[in-house]
Amino acid sequence: MGESTEKEPTLDRARRKGTVPKLLGASIKMLYRDRTGLFWALVFPLLFVLVFGLFGKTSSVGTVTIVDEARNESSAAIKTAFEEAKSFTVKADDYSVEEAREAIKDNKTGLVVIIPRDFQIGAAAPELTVVSGSGNVLVNSSAMNLLTNLGAQRVIALKSDETTTNTVTYFDFVYAGILCLALMNYNITNVDTQLTSFREQKILKRLQTTPLPVWKFMTAQIGSFLVLNVFQVIVLLIVGVAMFGAHIYGSYAGVVVLCLIGAVLFLAFGFFLASFTKTIRAASGLSVSISIIFMFMSGVFFPLSGLPNAIYQVVRWLPLSPMIQAMRNVALDAQPLADQWSYILIMLGWLVVLVVASAFTFRFSEE
């Protein structure tokens, strides 16, 4: 009996010693079997690496186009100064002042430097013409600082020809993007997770057995999101403009119309994503990741001209990109909403594609 009582504690201690490693092994297996969680654990941080890698690879704040009409040593010195700064993507073209303005409005370049014929460093005339716009605050300030410093050293006369006379700060640039970002992020994330939750709880399946038409239920859901979107925009306008001094130089009505079009577009995007997510965790991971991609690749914080050209030609067609560009044109450059028809057309095209795709892919149950 005495030996037995002495052995049992020893056996218990041996069992307890092996408990933690066994639990650790079981927990690791459970994490491994949760493929969705494992996928987003890896993909989520990799998205940040990808996005900042693309923007940071060239360390470019934007594109500067140089129109060299002089083609002499002085004009070559200007081009060399921009290239050696390594802060710009420098390219050559043959724009007139009017064509330069249009190129900037279309986001083909951030700033245009026109070097006139007979230009000579140190001569009083002719002047360099710098054409800039409000949508590329970073490249504007950096390029003008470079030219001003170069002028102080070598006597270069500058003539600024801006597409707008409005004073635009970097906060204004970002603020216009945040208006669009808020609608995109809320609608994509919440529509996807809510519809997936309804499907997971079999609410959508039971709804089909009730006298209530499905379209009425969906209309009410869409309406509730749009009401909250209006509240979002009002709050952001009050806080941004009244409290932090953000500038809205254009039509507030135009800003609101763009917000409504964007809100409906990203509601449709949320419906589309909900067609493929089976669990709330998957819906949350997918929608957040899509939002991050759009947030950084659509020009919310940085001008798209800072991206490599091959990437730019792709991301300019993302649904958030035309909305942000149109918003900045209306809010900061005070351009008429009617002039944004090309951007609005892209948004409406996305809307039609997403609605049609959702009609074919959306499921009310997994059974």
Residues 325 and 305 sit within 8 Å (Cβ to Cβ): no
Which of 150, 3, 146 has its CA nearest to residue 62? 146
298-302 long-range contacts (CB < 8 A, ≥24 apart) are 298/177, 298/180, 298/324, 299/177, 299/324, 299/325, 300/174, 300/177, 300/178, 300/180, 300/181, 300/324, 301/174, 301/177, 302/55, 302/61, 302/138
Q: What is the number of domains present in the chain?
A: 2
Q: Are residues 194 and 293 in the same domain?
A: yes
Q: 256 and 174, same structural domain?
A: yes
pLDDT digit string (tens) for 95-124? 776 777 777 766 677 778 888 887 777 666
Question: Over the stretch 208-257, which tens digit does the pLDDT of each residue have?
Answer: 787 877 777 788 888 888 888 888 888 888 888 888 888 898 899 999 99
In a domain, 327, yes or no: yes
CB atoms within 10 A of CB 171: 15
- Residue 55: inside a domain, yes or no? no
Return the CATH number at 74. 3.40.1710.10
CB-based contact 311:54 (threshold 8 Å) = yes
pLDDT in tens, 308-343: 777 878 888 999 999 999 998 899 888 899 989 999
Percent pLDDT > 90 in the chain is: 16
Same domain flag for 337 and 204: yes
- Which amino acid does the sequence have at 31? L
DSSP for residue 127: P
Give the pLDDT score at 41: 52
Same domain for 113 and 191?
no
The residue segments making up the domain with residue 154 are 62-162
Statement to judge: residues 253 and 183 lie in one domain:
yes
**Of 133, 162, 191, which one is at a domain's C-terminal end?**
162
Bond from prior residue into 21 cis (ω within 30 degrees of 0): no
Please give the Cα distance from 237 to 241 (Å, whole number).
Answer: 6
Please determine, for residue 157, whether its predicted confidence score (pLDDT) is greater than 50: no
Residues 176 and 211 in one domain: yes
| Same domain as 158, residue 264 | no
Candidate from 144-153, 264-273, 297-306 with smallest mean pLDDT: 144-153
> Do 344 and 320 fall into the same domain?
yes
CB 297 within 8 A of CB 315: yes
The answer on 157 and 196 residing in a single domain is: no
Q: Which of 103, 127, 162 is the last residue of a domain?
A: 162
pLDDT (0 to 100) of residue 148: 72
233 with 260, same domain: the answer is yes
Residues 157 and 174 in one domain: no
176 compared with 41, residue with greater pLDDT? 176
Q: Would you say residue 29 lies in a domain?
A: no
